[in-house]
């Protein structure tokens, strides 16, 4: 016997759409289920000015399938040269909804990221004044820091001091991966700190990447951590705590780039995210909290209305996730959670 689950249409608060042929192929996978998404600006070259964001938004809208209803929420890529006035104008225009902080070299296409936190302080102060959130890729890139410790060190050395010296700055800790990050997000009681959790970090730990052979399609940044950290993320996502919300960090790469001698980081989860989340929340006896995580907590943090449409998921016969999405930029492997999916979004 099947059963249904009706949810306010969800949003994705951290999404990579890329550009060109890749954009055309992956955008429908998100627009099918999600009403809005915070779009990452780490293109080559990156989206650093309001003019860049305006042009990229037009390319996204032009790539939408006919009849699709989807709103890209644009962001700017923070650099040492970012102009506070340009940021403020873009926010006043309604063009951007956040600014993204990448420490230089932290992840894919982050070479232009921040190197001097002193130089970006004027931008951060202006953002605090106008209520514009800062989305943070929370990892240090120092060569002497173990890759599994980068998030914890970033919170201590960078994020906490940054927030203390910029009172009122609204911050999203993106794609958190550790129990310590969960605890830090919960330490805020003023409503100025939120945290996104990805689909794949709720499913995989570091053994999925490394045990029994290297599995490149599970390699992402921040890298998955120990099982105890995955369980902490799962508890946070299913807790009903409004400080945690969905940001898939769905990140497509052509298979040849993932499978090379120096493979790219990223999991492409857009296609099956809602089915995977329904499975995960059901297993945790928390289906009643999925709507909060996927559809309500994010709009509340970004001070946007909830969507006025619904999606319906139906539980039925099991199927396997994964597969391949053909794109003009090459085949992209769809994330396989490693377990059967019983839920599917009705179209």
Residues that are catalytic: 249
- Burial (CB count within 10 angstroms: exposed 0-12, middle 13-18, buried 19+), residue 255: middle
Measured between alpha carbons, how far is residue 154 from residues 18, 83, 123, 161, 210 in Å?
Answer: 26, 25, 20, 10, 24
- With beta carbons less than 8 A apart as the criterion, state whether 215 and 338 touch: no
Give the contacts of 94 (CB within 8 A, at least 6 positions apart). Answer: none
DSSP per-residue letters across 151-168? HHHHIIIIIHHHHHHSTT
Backbone angles phi, psi at 162, to 5 degrees: -60, -45
Backbone angles phi, psi at 195, to 5 degrees: -145, 130
**Tokens at 89, concatenated:** 């104008």
- 287: three-class secondary structure by DSSP: helix
* Dist CA 243 CA 191 (whole Å): 8
* Dist CA 308 CA 331 (whole Å): 35
- Burial (CB count within 10 angstroms: exposed 0-12, middle 13-18, buried 19+), residue 105: middle
**Tokens at 55, concatenated:** 């042009």
The number of beta carbons lying within 10 Å of the beta carbon of residue 52 is 18
Measured between alpha carbons, how far is residue 262 from residues 93, 141, 145 in Å?
Answer: 41, 18, 20
- With beta carbons less than 8 A apart as the criterion, state whether 196 and 301 touch: no
């Amino acid at each position: 016997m099947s059963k249904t689950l009706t949810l306010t249409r969800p949003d994705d608060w951290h999404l990579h759409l890329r550009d060109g042929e890749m954009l055309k192929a992956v955008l429908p996978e998100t627009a099918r289920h999600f009403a809005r998404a915070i779009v990452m600006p780490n293109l080559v070259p990156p989206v650093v000015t309001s003019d860049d964001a305006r042009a990229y938004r037009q390319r996204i809208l032009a790539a939408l399938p006919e009849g699709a209803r989807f709103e890209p929420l644009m962001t700017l890529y923070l650099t040492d040269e970012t102009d506070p006035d340009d940021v403020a104008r873009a926010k006043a225009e309604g063009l951007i909804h956040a600014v993204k902080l990448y420490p230089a070299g932290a992840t894919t296409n982050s070479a232009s990221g921040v190197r001097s936190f002193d130089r970006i302080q004027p931008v951060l102060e202006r953002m605090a004044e106008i209520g514009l959130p800062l989305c943070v890729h929370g990892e240090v890139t120092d060569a002497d820091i173990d890759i599994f410790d980068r998030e914890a060190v970033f919170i201590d050395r960078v994020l906490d001091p940054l927030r203390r010296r910029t009172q009122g700055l609204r911050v999203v800790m993106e794609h958190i991966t550790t129990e310590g990050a969960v605890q830090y997000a919960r330490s805020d009681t003023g409503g100025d700190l939120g945290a996104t959790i990805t689909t794949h970090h709720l499913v995989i730990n570091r053994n999925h990447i490394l045990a029994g052979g290297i599995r490149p399609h599970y390699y992402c940044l921040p890298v998955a951590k120990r099982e105890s950290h995955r369980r902490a993320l799962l508890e946070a996502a299913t807790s009903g705590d409004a400080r945690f919300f969905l940001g898939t960090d769905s990140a497509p790469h052509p298979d040849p780039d993932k499978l090379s001698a120096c493979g790219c980081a990223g999991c492409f989860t857009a296609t099956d995210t809602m089915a995977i989340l329904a499975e995960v929340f059901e297993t945790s006896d928390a289906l009643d909290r999925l709507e909060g995580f996927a559809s309500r907590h994010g709009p509340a943090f970004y001070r946007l209305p909830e969507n006025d449409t619904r999606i319906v998921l139906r539980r039925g016969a099991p199927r396997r996730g994964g597969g391949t999405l053909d794109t003009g930029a090459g085949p992209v492997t769809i994330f396989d959670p490693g377990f059967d999916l019983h839920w599917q979004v009705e179209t």
